Structure 1
Amino acid sequence: MPNFETFTKRLVPLVRQPFVTIQKRGTMSMNAAAFAELGEPEAVELLYDPAERIIGFRPVEKESEHAYPLRPQAGKSVGPYIVSGTAFTKYYNIDTSVSRRWTSYIDDGILCIDLKQSGTVVTSNRSSGRDVEGGQ
């Protein structure tokens, strides 16, 4: 007789690779793992190092002068978390012609993505062919 094991959600790793996606038109999203690595803030400051082409997200109080609120994607209770970055990407001339996802990392408390890396083009799994809005 087989020695069956019951599959439970607890057998699946809770933390996945942290990712940030820059969607078409500049909206940015981070998956739950990236949000958790950042400390689950209500808001972030958007940072950019033009010489190194690195985008940073620094947690701040939502009342901070330069705060950008993080919100879960509409209809979802747990990520992806969205931040409006259209003006930011336009100002720094960051390509938003297609949605792209990057592996993120923490550097001195700042969640970073390196735009020198090519990133992964993200396409929708929906039949309409639109780009993914969540980047998961």
Structure 2
Amino acid sequence: MPNFETFTKRMVPLVKQPFVTIQKRGTISLNAAAYAALDEPEAVELLFDPSDRIVGFRAVPKESEHAYPLRAQSGKSIGPYIVSGTAFTRYYSIDTTVSRRWIGYMDDDILCVDLKQPGTEVTSNRSGSNSARSADEDA
């Protein structure tokens, strides 16, 4: 009798880079690659290095004192994953006048975003037009 394996979506390697978007009004979204880089946590801590202007995300149990829950946007199970960062962005005076996306990188167990880099301005795709979407939004 054959020894079958069940194919799951997790078996497909992620080839896309981790992206973090700070949206208008401070909501933060992580693409599937960023979520996977953090080992798919239920919650994260929001970290900030004021002198280097680096935002960090560290996976923590959702019961942790400083945990911010991650949720899949619109009930999708493959992301993007959203965290409420409004108070965080206000406290650290992080510009949220336009939505911007940065490439994230791992430093030990922390997903980092360097705000000294310009990032990429992103626009909503709610108008139904695909022209406003960038290729990495589907990540």
TM bin, normalised by shorter chain, reads 0.7 to 0.9
Shift of 1:13: 6.1
Q: 1:98: which partner in 2?
A: 98
Matching residue's letter, 2:86: T
User: Does residue 1:36 correspond to 2:33, yes or no?
Assistant: no
Q: 1:108: which partner in 2?
A: 108
Corresponding residue SS for 1:74: helix
User: Does residue 1:55 correspond to 2:55, yes or no?
Assistant: yes
Matching residue's letter, 1:17: Q
Shift of 1:111: 0.2
Q: 1:71: which partner in 2?
A: 71
CA distance in 1, matches of 2:14, 2:86: 31
Matching residue's letter, 1:48: F
Q: 2:88: which partner in 1?
A: 88
Give unmatched runs, 5+ long, in structure 2.
Answer: 1-11
Shift of 1:17: 1.1
Shift of 1:128: 7.2
Matching residue's letter, 2:91: Y
1:61-97 Cα distance to aligned partner (Å, 9 max, x none): 0000000000000131210000000000000000000
CA distance in 1, matches of 2:112, 2:61: 19
Percent of aligned pairs with the same amino acid: 75
Q: 1:118: which partner in 2?
A: 118
Matching residue's letter, 2:92: Y
Shift of 1:108: 1.3
CA distance in 2, matches of 1:94, 1:100: 11
Kindly report the root-mean-square deviation, in angstroms, between the aligned alpha carbons of the 2 structures. 2.1
1:18-44 Cα distance to aligned partner (Å, 9 max, x none): 100000000000000000011111000
CA distance in 1, matches of 2:14, 2:43: 23
